[in-house]
Amino acid sequence: MTREQTAFTALLALVVANLVLQPLTEPDFGWHLRAGLDLLSQGGRLPALDPYSHTMPDWPWVEHAWLTDLLIGLLYQAGGPLAAMLFFSAVTAAAWLMAVRSSEANAPVQLSACALSLWAALPFLGARTQMVTLLGLALLMWGWHRVRAGEVRLVRWIPFLFLVWANLHGGFTAGLFYLALVIALSWLVRLMAPDLAHRTGVVDPSTLWRLLLATGTGAIVTLVNPYGWNLHKEIFDSLSDSFMIQTLREWHPVSLETLAGRLFVGYVAGLALAMMLWYRRVEPVQWGVLAVFLVLAGRHLRNIPLFLIVSVPLAADLLHEALRRFAALPFVNAVSSTRWPRAGTLALGLVLLYIGPDHIQHVWRFGVTPAAAFRQTSYPIEAVEWIREHRHQLGDRLLHDYQYGGFLLWWLPQEKIFIDGRMPAWRIGDRWIFKDYVEVRETDPPRLSILDKYGVDWALLKRDTLLAQILGALPGWRKAYEDTKVVIYMHDARRLDGAIYSRTAEEARGESRRATGASE
C-alpha cells in the first residue's frame, strides 16, 4: 500500500470513528447506568422486584442486559461518562468492521461501505445496549463466511457466543433467528436446486448438520442466565405486546416522515440501483437472508440496524465493483494511479475539517461536563438542578414524560419514577402501566383518574402540553417551577382524595383556556 493509499485509509477510519462517537442522549442509557451502578454497590446481586418505579414496585423485573449494565457501571466509575461513550463507540465500530469482513473488498472500500451504512444508521447510534446485539450478529456473519470458506471448526464456538450473548443482551434471539434462517435457506436450495447449490457454494449437508447442532446447543445454553426461562418469557411477552407495538414509534413501519425512514429508504434504493447495474452473482442464500431482514426492517424501525449490519458486506462488494468499472474508463485510466488517492485524501480531509471538530467538541462536552451539555438538549437538566435544591417541597409519587424516565434515574438516583423504557409490556391486574401512561399523557381528553390510581402528587411535564395545561387549572395543584422546556406541578396536600378529579378533563381544559385568554 502506497503512502497515499495509507493516508486515505486512515482518513476513512477517522470518518468511521466520527460516526460511531455519539453523545449520551439515548433515553434508556440512564436506567442501564443506574442498574449497573447498583449491581456494583450490591455486590452483583440482582433485584427480584423493580427497585426504580413507584408504580410497579412488585413487578418481577428481568434485567435482560445485566452483564452489559455491569460493564457500563464499571466503566462509569473508572472514567465517568466519557468512558461509557467510548465503550459504546468501540462496540459499534467493532460491529460494522466485523460484519464488513465478510466482503472480499479491500480495506479502503470496506471502510467506505461502513461509513455509508453508519450514515444510514445515525438515528440509531449512541449509548444503546442494542449495539451489543449488532456485534454478536456481525460475529455470526463473519463465522458463517469462514465456514463457507472451509473453516468448519468455527461452529464449535457458537454455543459459547450465545452463552455470553444471552447475559449481555436479550437480542441474542436475533442471532438464533439469523442462523436458523441460514440453515433453512441452505437446505431449501440443496433440496430444490442441487445444481444451483453446487455452483453457488452452498455448504455440504454434513456442515449444515454440524451448524444445526451448534445452533441448537447455543439455544439451550441461553437458559444459563440469572433468570432461566423467564428471560425468554420476558422477551416473548415484549415482542408480542400489540399495544406497545402500535404505540411506540420505534415499532412503527418505515415512514418517509422520519429521518430514520428517509435515510433507510435512500440506502436501500442505492443498493438496489447498484445491484441492477453491477451485481452479477447468484447467491440464493444471501439473497434470502437480505430479503427477510429487509422485510423486518420495513415492518419496524427498530430492525433497521439489523438490516444495515447484514447488508454492509454487499454494500462493500458493490462499491468495489463500481470503483473497478470507474477505474477502467479511458479518461480515468489515463490519470496517474497516485492522483486518485491524493484527491480522495484531500476531499476527506476537507470533510473532516468541516464537520469533525464541532462534532468531537460536542461529544466531548457530554463526556467531561454532561450537565452543561444537556442544557443544549430537550432533557430537563435545569429542572433536575432545581429539584435537588427544593426536594423537600415536593411529593413522593412523580408523573413525568416517558422519555425522561431513564434520564431521571441517572440524575436523580434516589427518585422513584413513573415509567421508563423497561416497562411498556409490564402489567399486573388493572395496572397496565404503559397503557395508563398513554391514557393520562397522550390522549385527548386525558384520563385524570390515572393520577388517583397511582397516587401522583407532583408532575414534571413538557411545557404547553395538554396535561400540563389541565393540571394548571385543577384545584389543589399549583405550579412550582417552569422553564423553556418543562413545568413542575405539585399538589398542596401531597395526597389525592379522589375528589380532586371530580370534574371532567374537558371542564378543566376549558378553565385553562379561559385563564390563558384572560392573561393575554
Cβ-contact 11, 345 below 8 angstroms: yes
- Taking alpha carbons only, the member of 114, 108, 171, 111 closest to residue 140 is 171
381-502, what's its fold? Rossmann fold (3.40.50)
Residue 520 confidence (pLDDT) above 50: no
In the DSSP assignment, the letter for residue 26 is -
pLDDT of residue 274: 92
State the distance between the two ends of the chain, measured CA to CA, in whole angstroms: 71
User: Of 88, 31, 26, 36, whose CA–CA distance to 67 is shortest?
Assistant: 36
pLDDT above 60: residue 446: yes
Give the pairing of strands 427-428 and 431-432.
antiparallel
Instruction: Report how far residue 439's alpha carbon sits from residue 461's, in angstroms, rounded to the nearest whole number.
Output: 15
Confidence category of residue 194, pLDDT binned at 50, 70, 90? confident
The three cell numbers of residue 239 are: 415482542
Average pLDDT estimate for 470-493: 92
Average pLDDT over residues 161-188: 97
> CA-to-CA distance for 430 and 385, rounded, in angstroms?
35
**Is the CB of residue 31 less than 8 Å from the CB of residue 406?**
yes
pLDDT in tens, 3-29: 767 777 888 888 899 899 999 999 999
Residue 507 has a pLDDT of 47
Closest CA to 410 of 76, 145, 163: 76
C-alpha cell at position 238: 415484549
- 30-44, 56-70, 100-114, 397-411: the lowest-pLDDT one: 100-114
Give the β-pairing of 427-428 and 458-462: unpaired
Pairing type for strands 458-462 and 486-491 reads: antiparallel
- Across the beta sheet with 398-400, the strand order is 398-400, 458-462, 486-491, 477-482
Question: How far is it, in rounded angstroms, from Cα 78 to Cα 84?
Answer: 10
Q: Are 427 and 241 in contact (CB under 8 A)?
A: no
d(CA 97, CA 89): 12
Report the DSSP beta bridge partners of residue 488: 460, 481
Q: Is the dihedral of CA 438, 261, 96, 233 positive or negative?
A: positive
Pairing of strands 398-400, 458-462: parallel
The larger pLDDT score, comparing residue 63 to residue 7, is at 63
pLDDT tens string 291-304: 999 999 999 999 99
- Sequence letter at residue 280: R
Per-residue model confidence as pLDDT tens digits over 249-301: 999 999 999 999 999 999 999 999 999 988 877 789 999 999 999 999 999 99
pLDDT per position as a tens digit, 72-129: 999 999 999 999 999 999 999 999 999 999 998 888 889 989 999 999 999 999 999 9
**Does the pLDDT of residue 498 top 60, yes or no?**
no
What single letter denotes the amino acid at residue 208?
Answer: L
The pLDDT of residue 511 is above 50 = no
334 has pLDDT over 60: no
What whole-number percentage of the chain has pLDDT above 90? 74
What is the C-alpha separation between 22 and 118, in angstroms, rounded? 12
pLDDT of residue 351 exceeding 70, the answer is no
Q: Where in the chain are the domains?
A: 62-328, 381-502
pLDDT of residue 357: 75
Mean pLDDT within 437-450 = 94
As a whole number of angstroms, the distance between CA 109 and CA 314 comes to 11
Q: Is 131 in contact with 318 (CB distance < 8 Å)?
A: no
> What does the block give as the cell for 484?
423553556
Q: Which residue has the cell 371542564?
A: 507
Q: What is the pTM of this model?
A: 0.91
> d(Cα 401, Cα 414) in Å, to the nearest integer?
18
What is the pLDDT confidence band of residue 202, given thresholds at 50, 70 and 90? confident
pLDDT for 503 equals 41
**55 vs 47: CA distance, rounded Å:** 16
State the pLDDT at residue 199: 79
d(CA 402, CA 424): 10
H/E/C letters for each residue in 402-453? HHHHHHHHHHCCCCCECCCCCCCCCEECCEEHHHHHHHHHCCCCCCCHHHHH
Calculate Rg over the CA atoms of the chain.
26
| Ranges 35-39, 505-509, 516-520: which has the least confidence | 516-520
- Provide the pLDDT for residue 177: 98
Quote the pLDDT of residue 339. Answer: 58
Confidence bin at 353 (pLDDT 50/70/90): low
Per-residue pLDDT band at 360 (split at 50, 70, 90): confident
Categorize the per-residue pLDDT at 350 as very low, low, confident or very high, splitting at 50, 70 and 90.
Answer: low
Average pLDDT, the chain: 89
